[in-house]
Amino acid sequence: MDLQSLCKVILVSALISLVCHPCSVTAGDIVHDDDSAPKKPGCENDFVLVKVQTWVNGIEDAEFVGVGARFGTAIVSKEKNANQRRLVLSDPRDCCSHPKNKLDNDVIMVDRGHCKFTTKANNAQAANASALLIINNQKELYKMVCDPDETDLDIHIPTVMLPQDAGVSLEKMLTSNSSVSVQFYSPKRPLVDIAEVFLWLMAVGTILCASYWSAWSAREAVIEHDKLLKDPLDEIPDTRHVGSGGLLNINTTSAVLFVVFASCFLIMLYKLMAYWFVELLVVLFCIGGVEGLQTCLVALLSRWFKRIAESYVKIPLFGAVSYLTLAVSPFCIAFAVVWAVYRNVSFAWIGQDILGIALIITVLQIVHVPNLKVGTVLLSCAFLYDIFWVFVSKKLFHESVMIVVARGDKSGQDGIPMLLKIPRMFDPWGGYSIIGFGDILLPGLLVAFSLRYDCLANKSLRAGYFVWAMIAYGLGLLVTYVALNLMDGHGQPALLYIVPFTLGTFLTLGRKRGDLRILWTSGEPERPCPHIRLEHQTIEELNDEK
């Protein structure tokens, strides 16, 4: 294996460990629950995100996002039902005593601290405020709950908390002798967004393309191998590695170690999730994206430009490189650089998805599951990995490590780039529907294996395993999105649903058809040696002549 192929294998091996992330929505959960703050009479609201629209001197201005309290009147969901009220600054600022302001159904803005949230709400309500707006002393939002001993609450005004930076902006508006009014409402997220349909099509289509490319390459390698074996024995070269250059076959040990390595890397991402570390991941993603896009374009264009695709030049450290690769590389590098520079603009997700899909297809072309045994071990470990880091990690870290990393909550950015994402088109909260590369790559390894087996066994689509594996993957991903919407946007581990569908279908069909032993061990049908076939043919011809 030359240096170029070795670097490619090392790169994709490292990137696979980065990309096991769940389906999620980056806009944040609209509805929250908290077992540490149970509901009780007078304190039983859901924690909901709230839009706070402002007007300055009658002109619509900035919009902020806050969180509603457990107590008080529930926030209306429709903008047309929300009242627009004048905003005033509390005196005293903490509202821990009766405000000196004369309020007439106004919204009063207070600072957090010095007394309980419910005390502030009671004082504001007694002063004839229509709503309470609490400014946090941090940039994050905080869930406003009731104390365990508060059992006689009678708060009838809505209470909303805004982050510190929003409070600074509102205070500037108020101190500039402007008339400021606000409106609270919490729009509901649609049950299904068209973005999820397109994301489902992207995931299924990526595996479909990668599987056919992988199967075609495997069939070409077998044909080339058989041609060499048909030559006289003394002219046969060493064919043990024909068609395997640059391929990485996973074994059971590496499948288990992969999950261990991925877990360690996830912890490192969680602990080091800062601006500089996200920038480093962007660089790694660009390198992988360039390699993936280049590989896909060269394979596609070589059909029309065979001459330059088969003409090579030696480059130090990289060995023989085709002229077509040299021609395509500048475009791929420029594409990745432009995306990296402008990745924060609204349409940058298109470039990220192009680079991501190309990388996934390339990895599925290079990395192979040799048999069903390895595929079962890999997906089973990934299944446990996903469940642990999405659900169980909450007990150890007080938050879901996987979801925090996927969203980039601690980085101040939109999260790591190893995701396919599409903006939510009909969601009033905006944000993106996302799916981690791992939720496509890991099941894709098994699906690609199924098509390679079908091709080598000369099975039709109906009699083979590929169609059923694709249907199972599609259904598993569909169930993931259904669960995502039923859970009000809470991140879901996609492999929790995809693995039982995909792996269960494969194992059940293999056992029913009697192919399970071959699938489990060798992973490819037995083929008689061409020399034996030629020998039998020669003997039969001699017997016929006699």
Residue 73 gets which letter from DSSP? S
Which pLDDT does position 384 carry in this prediction? 92
Taking alpha carbons only, the member of 431, 533, 410 closest to residue 49 is: 431
Taking alpha carbons only, the member of 29, 53, 52 closest to residue 188 is: 29
- Statement: residue 163 has pLDDT above 60: yes
Sign of CA dihedral 531, 536, 537, 539: positive
Same-domain pairing of 424 and 522: yes
Q: What is the CATH number of the domain that holds 134?
A: 3.50.30.30
Within a domain: 510: yes
The total number of structural domains in the chain stands at 2
Rounded mean pLDDT, 73-78: 88
Tell me the Cα Rg of the chain: 30
Within a domain: 132: yes
Residue 248 CA to residue 238 CA, distance in Å, equals 19
Give the three-state DSSP class for 93.
coil
Same-domain pairing of 120 and 152: yes
Give the three-state DSSP class for 76.
coil
Same-domain pairing of 112 and 258: no
Taking alpha carbons only, the member of 286, 224, 412 closest to residue 15 is: 286
- Statement: residue 517 has pLDDT above 60: yes
- Statement: residue 546 has pLDDT above 60: no
Q: What is the pLDDT of residues 407-450, one digit of tens each?
A: 665 555 556 788 899 998 888 888 888 888 889 999 999 999 99
Q: CB of 96 within 8 A of CB of 115?
A: yes
The amino acid at 400: S
- Statement: residue 45 has pLDDT above 70: yes
Rounded mean pLDDT, 246-263: 84
Within a domain: 295: no
Within a domain: 300: no
Which pLDDT does position 370 carry in this prediction? 93
Which band of pLDDT confidence, cut at 50, 70 and 90, is reported for residue 22? very low
Residue 187 CA to residue 265 CA, distance in Å, equals 37
85 forms beta bridges with 182
Residue 20 CA to residue 416 CA, distance in Å, equals 11
Same-domain pairing of 145 and 205: no
Q: What is the pLDDT of residues 98-141, one digit of tens each?
A: 888 888 899 999 999 889 898 999 999 999 999 999 999 888 88
Which segment of 240-249, 264-273, 391-400, 441-450 scores lowest on mean pLDDT? 240-249
Same-domain pairing of 454 and 510: yes
Same-domain pairing of 254 and 172: no
Which residues have a catalytic role annotated? 386, 439
Rounded mean pLDDT, 373-382: 94
Alpha-carbon 439 to chain mean position: 7
Which pLDDT does position 377 carry in this prediction? 95
Within a domain: 512: yes
Which pLDDT does position 238 carry in this prediction? 47
Same-domain pairing of 106 and 223: no
The pTM score is: 0.80
Residue 535 gets which letter from DSSP? H
Q: Which of 42-46, 98-102, 491-495, 516-520 has the highest mean pLDDT?
A: 516-520
Same-domain pairing of 205 and 162: no
- Statement: residue 510 has pLDDT above 90: yes
The amino acid at 534: L
Which pLDDT does position 507 carry in this prediction? 94
Which pLDDT does position 30 carry in this prediction? 37
- Statement: residue 283 has pLDDT above 80: yes
Same-domain pairing of 114 and 44: yes
Within a domain: 55: yes
Rounded mean pLDDT, 11-39: 46
Which segment of 86-95, 230-239, 406-415 scores lowest on mean pLDDT? 230-239
Within a domain: 544: no
Residue 364's domain comprises 194-227+247-279+340-526
Which band of pLDDT confidence, cut at 50, 70 and 90, is reported for residue 381? very high
Residue 6 CA to residue 368 CA, distance in Å, equals 15
Q: Percentage of the chain with pLDDT > 70? A: 82
Rounded mean pLDDT, 481-509: 84
Within a domain: 434: yes
Which band of pLDDT confidence, cut at 50, 70 and 90, is reported for residue 250? confident
Same-domain pairing of 114 and 257: no
Which pLDDT does position 31 carry in this prediction? 39
- Statement: residue 505 has pLDDT above 50: yes
Average confidence score pLDDT of the chain? 82
Q: What is the pLDDT of residues 317-358, one digit of tens each?
A: 777 888 898 999 999 999 999 999 999 898 999 999 999 999
Which pLDDT does position 1 carry in this prediction? 44
Which pLDDT does position 528 carry in this prediction? 60
Same-domain pairing of 382 and 514: yes
Q: What is the pLDDT of residues 210-225, one digit of tens each?
A: 999 999 988 888 777 6
Same-domain pairing of 252 and 388: yes
Locate 11 and state its tokens: 């790169």
CA distances from 78 to 10, 136, 304 (A): 52, 25, 56
